[in-house]
Structure 1
Amino acid sequence: MTHRLTLEQARRIAVRAQLLDADRPGDVVEVAEQLGAVKIDPTATIAPCEHTVLWSRMGWSYEPGQLTRSTEGDRLLFEFAGAFRPMSLLPLLRPEMRRWPERESSRQWLEANARFRADVLARLRAEGPLLARQIPDTADIRRPPDGWSGANQVVHLLEFLQLQGIVAVAGRDGRHRRWDLAERVYPQDLPEYPPEEAAALLDERRLSAAGIARQKSPWTPVGSAGEPAVVEGSRAKWRVDPAALAALDDDPGGRVALLNPYDGMLFDRPRLKEIFGFEYVLEQFKPKAQRRFGYFAHPILVGDRFLGLLEAEFDREHEVLRVAAVHEIAPWEGEERDMVAVEIDELADWLGVPVSYGS
């Protein structure tokens, strides 16, 4: 059976799947289980991505120590490939880890640095967990700086070994990762899945996090998970999460959400445009003169519509949230302006500072 959805229904499904409706989740693990990934990014115009993603779902009840406890203490979350993920996903990722790397250049680099690999693993086994800078760089073949990791080959190797499931991030010292052997970080009693079953279950988890996705989307690959759907005004073939469909009649309503530019809700740009009519361009990498909405403007979701962008910065020197502008990109009602103002005040309260309007 192919489900027929209005644009409003498709938007509501997507919003609820991302935990951005009025029914806020209660803890960090609940958010990670549903979203599948909480992206890590150091850009802290207001606050680092991982914290604003969690605050935008949980609100005032979120505090950063909860994320640390869930990853380093309770081990209910783990850091992998630039995101915090629920430990329930690890068994589904292991078949991919065992196949990695598929790129020939990466295989050749690892093979040429077999001695370097042995040195790093021996150091971790004897002294771990360690920061990358505490491990000697004994690489025989060097990779050029990629704009992210720099010239230190230890960082490259640790990230490769993480993708293979051999090492893992045991915790952080500020923004710096502490590495250890995966066997000492990950639980050892997790289930095993054949590659085909793991891939199918990953598709289901991705669809659950999205609610609805194009059937053949490189942004949100869901394979044959869920059920087929068509969306009003769209000629694309869609897949919809059955659980999200069943919950449509129980919709608790919408609210205002201020989204970090790297929030997973914004990742699938084609879906964002087709369902929400929202064309979001992150202006972080544009020359200043070409920016319309600011260096790191946070999209403003009101109910199931994107109505504006918040251009603001946490001024740490003067301890104030400076709001340069609230850009309205669609018609607003007075009540909506009031709701957005309240949410900005809530953001400032969470940061522990007052709000100042005007640059």
Structure 2
Amino acid sequence: MSDADVVVLSRDDARRLAVRAQLLDAERPGDVVEVAEQLGAIKIDPTATIAPSEQTIPWSRIGWAYESGQLSKVVEQDRLLFEYDGHFRPVSLLAPHLARMRGRAFHARAAAWLEANARFRADVLARLRAEGPMLAARIPDTSQVAHRNEAGWYGSNQVPRMLELLSAVGETAIVGREGRQRVWDLGERVYAGVPEVDYEGAGRMLEERRLQAAGIARQKSPWTPVGMAGVPASVEGSSWKWRVDRAALETLDDDPGGRVAILNPYDGMLFDRPRLKELFGFEYVLEQFKPKPQRVYGYFAHPILVGDRFAGLLDAQLDKKKETLVVTAVHEIIDLDPEEREMVDAEVRDLAEWLGVPIAYAPGR
């Protein structure tokens, strides 16, 4: 197939491509490394109404065989995944990410802050070089200029911001965690021996892997930037120009069928909101930042995928004191038949079993 040939897809096929690429069909992956290799990234976020995203994302794919300790093992002991920019990523993507880090140019405000804190930058790197991996709390704040913190993401200590900015250009790196706290080291030590890739070639490699994870993406999308990776496609009923992963297209007819999946709000399947609406007719709004009276589905409602349709949202919370999964509601947004409803309920029970707690349904459920 030449790139000039446009693949014509039904909407059902387009959705199946997306679902299979995200490992959300009936054929489950074997372990968390396989998940990371296919998805390219596993989001890290501390919000844990049920469990943190870096745990629920693998569970949504692997199911009962996934244990939370598997992730820390492959990151910190096996070194098969690495942490960068708020995600765990497979080492197969380290070289292109490192090339893009080293070629990165900061925006004017960040560049000015780094320039004003040149001595502080040198102090941080010298401390890591001399003493090795450590928490940010062990590094003295010798900053000359404080960061303007209108958004409130940082405290008064300037060390975490310096470490994060330096990690963006490969000068520092995260090598592990103590609880939720990151352990930092010198980039030149952590990335020693990583093969060099040119900047433009690295960009193309990352575009190809983004398309692999998406299955299908809009050709010019800021949400899922895939450039000209894959092959061109059109989808029935859509005026968009699409790119489709070639390997996924070749196995489209090998359909293992669908299943029910409960997705963390920060799951990569949900990230590209325009694609979600265009292909699935699903307009997902995270109500975490809405005032409570304005919430319809709940503070951190988890979307529920049934086959290739988004069928509902789970409003639930892990009560750590009572060691119970409290289910406030399972909101159906499309009509489900009795068998599908039982499948959803079974997946909620599986979630509670994975957490190791019983279910308590809120009154009226």
Q: Specify the alignment match of 2:162 in structure 1.
A: 157
Distance in 2, Cα, partners of 1:307 & 1:213: 22
Match of 1:40 in 2: 44
Q: Deviations over 1:284-339 (max 9, x none)?
A: 00000000000000000000000000000001100110100000000111001110
Q: Give SS of 2:318's match.
A: strand
Give the corresponding residue for 1:71: 75
What SS class does the counterpart of residue 64 from structure 2 fall into?
helix
| TM score, norm. by length of structure 2 | 0.96
1:147 to partner: Cα distance: 2.1
SS in 1 for 2:351: helix
How many angstroms does 1:126 deviate by? 1.8
Tell me which residue corresponds to 2:32: 28
Aligned counterparts of 1:265 and 1:99: Cα–Cα separation in 2 = 29
Q: How many residues align?
A: 358
Shift of 1:65: 1.0
Given candidates 213, 222, 240, the residue that maps to 2:217 is 213
1:177 to 174, 182, 203: 182
* Contact 2:302–2:315 (CA under 8 A) maintained in structure 1: yes
Structure 1, unmatched stretches of 5+, are none
SS at match of 1:84: strand
1:313 aligned partner, one-letter code:
Q
Q: Counterpart of 1:10 in structure 2: which amino acid?
A: A
- SS of alignment partner, residue 142 of structure 2: coil
1:347 aligns with 351
Secondary structure at the counterpart of residue 12 of structure 1: helix
After TM superposition, which residue ranges in structure 1, 4 or more long, deviate above 6 angstroms?
none
How do 1:215-234 residues align onto structure 2 when only pairs under 5 Å count? 215-234=219-238
CA contact (8 A) 2:103 2:199 kept: no
Shift of 1:88: 1.1
1:60 partner SS: coil
> Which of 307, 327, 333 is matched with 2:331 structurally?
327
| Distance apart, 1:185 and its partner CA | 2.9
Aligned-pair CA distance for 1:192: 1.5
Question: Partners in 2 of 1:132 and 1:140 — Cα distance?
Answer: 18
Could you tell me the TM-score, scaled by structure 1's length? 0.98
Q: How does 1:1-359 map to 2 (within 5 A)?
A: 1-145=5-149, 146-186=151-191, 188-358=192-362
Give unpaired runs (5+ residues) of structure 2: none
Q: Deviations over 1:118-159 (max 9, x none)?
A: 111111122221111111100011102242222211001000
Q: Secondary structure of 1:271's partner?
A: helix
Identity percentage of aligned residues: 66
Matched position secondary structure for 2:288: coil
Q: Does the CA-based 8 Å contact 2:96-2:203 persist in structure 1?
A: yes
Residue 275 of structure 1: how far off its partner (Å): 0.2
Structure 1 stretch 174-183 or stretch 321-330: which is displaced more? 174-183
Q: Say whether the 8 Å CA contact 1:144–1:151 is kept in structure 2.
A: no
Distance, in Å, in 2 between the alignment partners of 1:19 and 1:184 is 34
What per-residue deviation string (whole Å, max 9, x for no partner) do you get for residues 100-125 of structure 1? 23312222211211110111111112
* CA deviation vs aligned residue, 1:61-96 (integer Å, no higher than 9, x gap): 111111111111111111101110111111111222
Backbone CA RMSD of aligned residues: 1.0
